[in-house]
Amino acid sequence: MKKAISVFIVLLLGLSLAASGCISEEKGAGTSSSPSSTVQTSSQGTSSSTQSTSQAKVITLRTTGATFPQYQIQKWIEVYMKNHPNVKIEYEGGGSGHGQEAFLKGLTHIGRTDPPVKESTWKKFLATGDQPLQFPEIVGAVVVAFNVPGVDELKLDGETLAKIFMGEIEYWDDDAIKALNPSANLPHEKIIVVHRSDASGTTAIFTTYLSLVSKEWADKVGAGKTVDWPVDKVGRGIGGKGNPGVVQALKSTKYSIAYTELSFAIEENLKVVALKNKAGNFVKPTDDAIKAAVAGVKAFIPSPTEGYKEDLKQLLNAPGENSYPIVAFTHLLVWQNKGGKHYSKEEVQAIKDFLKWVLTEGQKPENLAPGYVGLPKEVAQIGLQAVDMIETG
């Protein structure tokens, strides 16, 4: 496993707030003299206390949401905190849905979501009286992993994959799978499908892909952070919380198949499917295959102040001989902080410094975790534009 770092995974947000701080009616109130920093919330926004040291104050920032970029976030925090000892960054996963909700309620400084925020949610953000800012932070891929003893290589096309997750293909030696894998020793065993049980950006990415490659899936199931899994109705579906929960369920269940983020597959040494791309080639999720999928994406990414919906579809099943078909940005959410509504001046400086580092130094190969690809420079520039828009109040 990766080196343990000072990252806090909070299981129950309410309990964590009760344990770490109090409710304050004034932004920035509640400086703590205890050894542990606190994150305070109010109707006016999120604020972290500072603690005095012999050298300087320590600013605590909380970031919440998507687990798709979990290993990358941990890598960034590890490197950044090592070189910036006066900033403490706490990461709470919980999925994209949780990240959006925590951001809206002022329970986190930086929200994280894989798919761009829906228009209805964006309107809720605007209703707070502050301007939300949204932009990509890193490129990742969703892989299809499998646990079939005696089978090390597997090829699937989108239509067959959709039928597996629909529950229509029941056995591993089904003719449709055999036709794509004529030399594989496929067993006559029932396929167990592992999927997310929580509101998940990874699920949104995966189900959007299935909707693009299978009309039946699009018509009967659709796409979203949560869906009604048909395979559950036939008794062959298993839910796992977060990418870690999915991976553990896959590893402990023979003859299973699952979708998860690439970095988790690398970390856990999972066997992954070579997927048929738009050009008709079977491709595994290599760095080059992911980069090929994101070539020329700047054209459909708008200003950070606009809610937008199409970048997810644009990256999925992208054209190109070597493009991997399930590639996506994961996104950051921060407030413009009009009138100092959400952040103190000290927090603004800490947020801006950290995010500028993420979008520049953090995109360099030495600061990337396995399974992630840095943003195209023109896309990173959109994020830097957003960071410059954050106001001190």
46 shares its domain with 146: no
How many other C-beta atoms are found inside a 10 Å radius of the C-beta of residue 306? Answer: 12
Q: Residue 268 belongs to a domain with what CATH number?
A: 3.40.190.10
148 shares its domain with 266: yes
**Domain end call among 244, 267, 292:** 292
**Is-contact 319 211, C-beta < 8 A?**
no
Whether the per-residue pLDDT at 48 is higher than 50: the answer is: no
Whether the per-residue pLDDT at 22 is higher than 80: the answer is: no
Whether the per-residue pLDDT at 46 is higher than 50: the answer is: no
64 shares its domain with 147: no
Interval 279-301 mean pLDDT: 88
130 shares its domain with 145: no
104 shares its domain with 69: yes
Residue 167 lies in a domain: yes
Interval 239-243 mean pLDDT: 94
Interval 30-59 mean pLDDT: 43
* Cα-Cα-Cα-Cα dihedral sign, residues 35, 37, 41, 44: positive
Residue 308 lies in a domain: no
187 shares its domain with 164: yes
What pLDDT does residue 119 have?
86
Residue 180 lies in a domain: yes
**Domain end call among 240, 264, 292:** 292
What pLDDT does residue 40 have?
32
What pLDDT does residue 337 have?
97
208 shares its domain with 245: yes
- Across 21-30, 60-69, 120-129, 269-278, least confident range: 21-30
What pLDDT does residue 306 have?
83
SS3 state of residue 88: strand
Domain interval for residue 276 = 141-292
* Digit-coded pLDDT (tens) for 115-148: 888 888 999 999 999 999 999 999 999 999 999 9
**Domain end call among 233, 265, 292:** 292
Residue 300 lies in a domain: no
What pLDDT does residue 52 have?
41
Residue 20 lies in a domain: yes
45 shares its domain with 134: yes
Burial code of 89-106, b = ≥16 C-beta within 10 A, e = fewer?
A: bbbbbbbbbbbbbbbbeb
253 shares its domain with 183: yes
Domain count, the chain: 2
